[in-house]
Amino acid sequence: MHSILRISEGAAIALHAADYLAGREGLSSAAAIARALGVSYNHLSKVLQQLTKAGLIAPVRGPKGGFELSAAGKKARVRDFIGAIDGQPSGHACLMKAKVCLGRGCMLGRFLEETNERFEAVMNAKLSELAKRKQKRG
């Protein structure tokens, strides 16, 4: 059986790195981000490179350099960060590779429909909105 949410480890790292950067003022080094997230520095570096290429984060070179969300990144939606790594995400109407119900319905049909609606709401949320909600919860 397949997961309803299909994102790569790289996309998950991108979301966590963006959330980390959204919660900080100023620059953060790749090493500090990798330590905080508990991920491979090399994998994170590749993800940060892709986010930079997409214009979602801004790198600053030099001994006191690092990364921060770009102006576009501060306005970006969750789907933009996932899309920069995996391509645009979409919901899935069936848990099977080949649809076995052949359009006759499925005992999980309504559940999947509701899950996809929630998925779309999160994908369309701005990262900054989600970061604010997290800060309020503490």
Residue with tokens 């919860």: 137
Asked if residue 3 belongs to a domain, the reply is no
As a whole number of angstroms, the distance between CA 68 and CA 92 comes to 33
Asked if residue 43 belongs to a domain, the reply is yes
Looking up residue 18, the CATH number of its domain turns out to be: 1.10.10.10
From first to last of the 138 residues of the chain, give the pLDDT tens digit.
345 667 899 999 999 999 999 988 889 999 999 999 999 999 999 999 999 999 999 999 988 899 999 999 999 999 999 999 999 876 666 666 666 665 566 777 778 778 888 888 888 999 877 766 655 555
Asked if 33 contacts 67 with a C-beta cutoff of 8 angstroms, the reply is yes
Asked if residue 4 belongs to a domain, the reply is no
CA 92 vs. chain centroid, Å, equals 17
Asked if residue 46 belongs to a domain, the reply is yes
Number of domains in the chain: 1
